[in-house]
A and B are shown apart, each in its own frame.
Chain A
Amino acid sequence: MSAVQALRAAPEPARNLEITVDKVSHGFDLHGTHLPVLDDIDLKVAPGEFVALLGPSGCGKSTLLRLIAGLDKPTHGEIAANGRPIGEPDPSRILVFQDPTLFPWSNVWRNVATGLAARGVLASESGRVDDALKLVGLTAFARAYPHQLSGGMAQRAALARALVNDPALLLLDEPLGKLDSLTRLTLQAELVSLWLAKRFTAILVTHDVEEAVLLSSRVLVLSDRPARIKAEFVVDKPYPRRRDDPDLVALRRQVLATLGLPT
């Protein structure tokens, strides 16, 4: 796999990050009423682990990711990275959204370079932008503008924009949710190989049970809002995994049953 080869050539190994979510509750004030979203979430994610969060629509999965990224602060409880409380967003923990949210006024290269430019290191480390583009197979599209990209290419560019910062933690908020099913299958495989190569810690929010059991080493099922952790499944299968692996099919059925959906 070319992505893996490109990663092996990367100069430094990724740092790893352990995330501790300690009794976190969170809510929003909507029209004067308090809307609880997260209820007493306890979660530990080990360095290099790939955790999938599954749950009903609007249950607060995305909110949890925003809290871990440091974009919002929890109402109660604490979230820590390697034991240090998270207060601010940091390029070591990067959130990838369902929409690529590329800047339409910049070309792909400038978009991917955003993190380096924002921290003022672009001049000395611009080679990393080219490496990241190579990693996601977009070298030929470096000068293209976002509106010229397909959905899959745009999401690859968004991944490159995250990976260029060599994040220790990648927070994936349904990153493949809006892609067509064939592109999704391709990108699922690419995500796994990127993770295997870089060994960052990954937390993936998804609606797709098959995607969760295929990619992650642990699946957490959340309840309806306010979300609590309802069930946990360890996926103890080596990579690369096959979609039709009987154990994974059985696990998928189990997870669907937990979610109260027909199998």
Chain B
Amino acid sequence: MSQASQLAEPFAASEAARVGRPLWVPGLYAGATWGAAAVVTKALPNVIPFGSDDLFAIIVGLGAAVLFGLAVAGPRAGRAREVLDHYGAWFIAIGVWLTLWEFTTAKTGWLPKPFFSAPTGLLHVYVTDWQRLLICIGYSLRLWGLGFGLGIIAGYSGGLALGWSKRFAYWGMPILKFIGPVPATAWIPVTFYFFPTMFEASVFIVALSSGIPVAILTASGVASVDSAYYDVGRNLGAKPWYLITRIAVPAALPHTFVGLFMGLYYSFAVLVVAEMLGSKYGLGWYVQFQSNYSAYANVYATLVIMAILCAGLVKLLFVVRDRLLRGQKGFI
């Protein structure tokens, strides 16, 4: 690269930031694909009716209008524009996906009921059954929150002890390595014997699934801390409590977060299974209940909710991690 072009590039970038970029062209395409979804939904006759056609057409039609608006009169520079530029292709793809999905299900019946559902069908589930779904979300979050919370508290304390104390590690590590690979759901029979209620048993199963990866990763993180850090601490007058809380804990934190991410995914998978075992409410119960009636539209609608919940919690954990590890290179 020549020196002139090296100089020219940052200049061009700052110039573009000041004047702004032209039209957000992907927005026009995206608006067209979303508009197509609305037209297909409204204009073509249904081979299989799923309900909520009008509402779906209005929603994607509004989406198309917003995308057109952003393309023509949206931000020309800054953070918002970068986000639009980055996700432009995705907006187009979502419109294409919705159009094809609606066309192949409701409009032609190529993908037949009850195994497949149209997007209008999923929307119809939310419209007609939102109260029960909200209650189920509440129950699931309560079970997950209790299980994950208790699990990571126990797993983290155990992991610290295992990583720090040789005696703990002698007894604990083999046990942990032995029960670690066993799926948490395999403990269900024993759990039902020990816990008086179904709810407590479910909490325990969720806690186990989230606690074990946290414990294993924290233990290995603490055990692999560079001993030079402890030498520095001891030399500067630190007592064991300080060495644990101010050196072992932060040094192992990147490992701990890997464990937390693993625990989050496991606990979500286990949550659904736990709820299928005779709960009264909850997303897992809802999926099970609707499957029995072959109401797969309800099942898919619930899966979408679960995916969004899990993605949201993962995002939240990323935010926490990035705050806590902001100084450490290579993790952000």
Contact A104 B236 (CB under 8 A): no
Q: What's the minimum C-beta distance from B52 to chain A, rounded to whole angstroms?
A: 52
Q: Which residues of B contact A145 (CB under 8 A)?
A: 327-329
Contact A95 B231 (CB under 8 A): yes
| Interface range for A | 20 to 34
Contact A105 B327 (CB under 8 A): yes
Contact A106 B327 (CB under 8 A): yes
Q: Which residues of A contact B88 (CB under 8 A)?
A: none
| CB closest chain-B residue, reference A144 | B327
Which residue from B226, B239, B329 sits with its C-beta under 8 Å from A118?
B239
Contact B233 A99 (CB under 8 A): no
Which residue from A89, A107, A165 sits with its C-beta under 8 Å from B327?
A107
0/1 per residue, A114-146, Cβ < 8 Å to B?
110111000000000000000000000000011
Contact A69 B235 (CB under 8 A): yes
0/1 per residue, B306-332, Cβ < 8 Å to A?
000000000000000000010111000
A-B contact count (CB 8 A): 74
Contact B237 A103 (CB under 8 A): no
Contact A104 B237 (CB under 8 A): no
Q: Which residues of B contact A119 (CB under 8 A)?
A: 236-237
The answer for the CA separation of A147 and B236 in the assembled complex, in Å, is 22
Q: Is the C-beta of A255 less than 8 angstroms from some C-beta in chain B? A: no
| CB closest chain-A residue, reference B247 | A103
The answer for the CA separation of A157 and B237 in the assembled complex, in Å, is 18
Which A residues, 53 to 109, have Cβ-Cβ distances below 8 Å to chain B? 66, 69-71, 89-91, 93-95, 97, 99, 101, 103-107
Contact B231 A103 (CB under 8 A): no
| CB closest chain-B residue, reference A119 | B237
Contact B329 A147 (CB under 8 A): yes
Given known A105-B325, A105-B327, contact A118–B238 (CB-CB < 8 A): yes
Which residue from A91, A99, A104, A146 sits with its C-beta under 8 Å from B235?
A91
Contact A103 B229 (CB under 8 A): yes
Q: What's the minimum C-beta distance from A221 to chain B, rounded to whole angstroms?
A: 27
The binding surface of chain B is classed by DSSP as helix
Contact A103 B228 (CB under 8 A): no
Q: Which residues of B contact A89 (CB under 8 A)?
A: 231, 234-235, 237
Q: Is the C-beta of A161 less than 8 angstroms from some C-beta in chain B? A: yes
Q: What's the minimum C-beta distance from B61 to chain A, rounded to whole angstroms?
A: 50
0/1 per residue, A157-179, Cβ < 8 Å to B?
00001000100000000000000
Given known A97-B228, A118-B239, contact A104–B328 (CB-CB < 8 A): yes
Which B residues, 168 to 205, have Cβ-Cβ distances below 8 Å to chain A? none
Q: What's the minimum C-beta distance from B331 to chain A, rounded to whole angstroms?
A: 10
Q: What's the minimum C-beta distance from A237 to chain B, rounded to whole angstroms?
A: 32
Q: Which 7 A-B pairs have the closest CB atoms?
A: A115-B236, A118-B238, A147-B329, A145-B327, A105-B250, A91-B237, A119-B237
